Amino acid sequence: MTSDTQNKLRSALERAAWQPKEWIPALRLLADECGASHAQLIGIGGPAMVMFNWISDFSEGLASVLHDAALHDPENNYRVLAGMSAAECAVVDEEDYARATKKLSGSEYLKLVRRHSIQNGLQTNLRKTQDGLIGLATLRRERTSPEERERFENIIPLAHTAVKLQAALGHQGAQILAGNYETMSQAAFVIDGNGMVQALTPAAETALTAPGSFRLDRQKLYLSDPEDDRALQKALASALLSGDRTLSAHSSLVIGSATPSPSIVDVIAMPKEDWAMPFGPRAVVTLGRQHFRSDRIALLCAAFGFTEVEAKVADFLSRGKSRSEIADLRATSDETIKSHIKSIYAKAEVSRENQLAAKVRDLLDGSPQDR
């Protein structure tokens, strides 16, 4: 690789670290330098299996399968399988592909790469953790020559540095976000795209020491109660899989429902930028104040997202009040109560009054029945 080409690639990769949308021009340069039709940067792992998959100059036929989890399962994909057993920054070549292919149980990926003439090439792991990897690859029809392999090897340190810088920037963003919550004395855990806790506030550290509350295991957040934890993991998966650039997923959970004073946990999805790697903040988990069971309306609002009026209507229904009785108590019409109930059903994800009453009683079991 000439010094001029090396400088161009270094500049392109530095731009990509700061502005991820610049990865495609950088990959195009890499493919040209290595004599390949395409270059690829892919993230494997996390709830979606394929965190991102960027390929230079890919065809329309590839666009529909870039994030197909089954095609990127190591049982079906020789590139993923070979990459999983390779050390960080080691070169994986066509000989490794041949060995991995013999171990595959599915043939769909083989058919795909042959159809698009990208069955050969080289790859390396720019980042490898217990939960996934970020791989850089060249995709081509013919086998790689020794000279092209040498060029690829020379590019690896430049790309590795770019990914490390992008990871550092993502971690810095998590620290800044945690700092904002710290100013509000909020217990907050900042989660990255891999589902790992990247930053937490002092109040969150305190919450980790409380019996029966949160715990960290290999940087992942759990709740001590199995039922509460299932709800937390479901909410986290929803937040991490959210593909919108807006705050599209926000779940409120009631934890400690078997105790005299349950708490509210909010799981908030952060906006996902185009060309985002998994290093930056993708979700925030906050622990709200404890609620006593006598605070029925506050608990219903927190658990189901009800308005205060909806929570009062739901509470009346759970006590066996009829719609007409509720309308009289609320000094409103039957039609207004019917409208409230329609909204209540949607938020509580039920279709009948007995289902709603059961959910409310489960949440408020043991609370005073009279207001």
- All structural domains of the chain with their residue ranges: 3-166, 184-290, 304-364
SS3 category, 339 = helix
Quickly tell me which residue has 């998590």 as its tokens. Answer: 174
**Architecture, CATH, for domain 304-364:** Orthogonal Bundle (1.10)
pLDDT band at 12 (very low <50, low <70, confident <90, very high): very high
- Paired strand residues for 252: 266
- Predicted TM-score (pTM) of the model is 0.72
What is residue 291's predicted lDDT score, i.e. its pLDDT?
52
pLDDT band at 35 (very low <50, low <70, confident <90, very high): very high
What is residue 37's predicted lDDT score, i.e. its pLDDT?
95
* pLDDT tens-place string over residues 128-148: 988 789 999 999 999 999 999
- CA–CA dist 303, 297 (Å, integer): 10
Asked if the domains at 3-166 and 184-290 fall in one CATH topology, the answer is yes
What is residue 83's predicted lDDT score, i.e. its pLDDT?
94
Q: Which amino acid is at 266?
A: D
- CA–CA dist 203, 33 (Å, integer): 51
What is the DSSP secondary structure assignment for residue 249, as one 8-state letter?
-
Q: What is the mean pLDDT of the chain?
A: 87
What mean pLDDT is predicted for residues 307-334? Answer: 92
- Angstrom distances, CA of residue 238 to CA of 71, 245, 247: 22, 14, 12
> Which CATH fold topology does 3-166 show?
Beta-Lactamase (3.30.450)
SS3 category, 352 = coil
- CA–CA dist 98, 94 (Å, integer): 6
What mean pLDDT is predicted for residues 33-44? Answer: 95
Question: How large a percentage of the chain has pLDDT more than 90?
Answer: 56
- CA–CA dist 262, 314 (Å, integer): 19
What is the DSSP secondary structure assignment for residue 140, as one 8-state letter?
B
Quickly tell me which residue has 């070549």 as its tokens. Answer: 93
What mean pLDDT is predicted for residues 295-299? Answer: 77
DSSP string computed for 65-105: TTT-TGGGSTTT-HHHHHHHTSPBT--B-HHHHHHHHTT-S
Q: For the sheet containing 263-269, what is the strand order?
A: 197-200, 187-192, 281-290, 263-269, 250-255
* pLDDT tens-place string over residues 137-186: 999 999 999 999 999 999 999 999 999 999 898 889 999 989 988 988 88
Q: Which tokens in the block code for residue 349?
A: 């994800």
Res 225 pLDDT > 50? yes
What is the DSSP secondary structure assignment for residue 286, as one 8-state letter?
E
Pair 127, 119: CB distance under 8 Å? no
Give 280 or 216, the one with higher predicted confidence.
Answer: 216
What mean pLDDT is predicted for residues 239-251? Answer: 65
DSSP string computed for 108-135: HHHHHHHHTT--B--EEEEEEETTEEEE
Tally of helices (H runs) and strands (E runs) in the chain:
14, 11
> Which CATH fold topology does 184-290 show?
Beta-Lactamase (3.30.450)
What is residue 249's predicted lDDT score, i.e. its pLDDT?
62
* pLDDT tens-place string over residues 78-118: 999 999 999 999 999 999 999 999 999 999 999 999 999 99
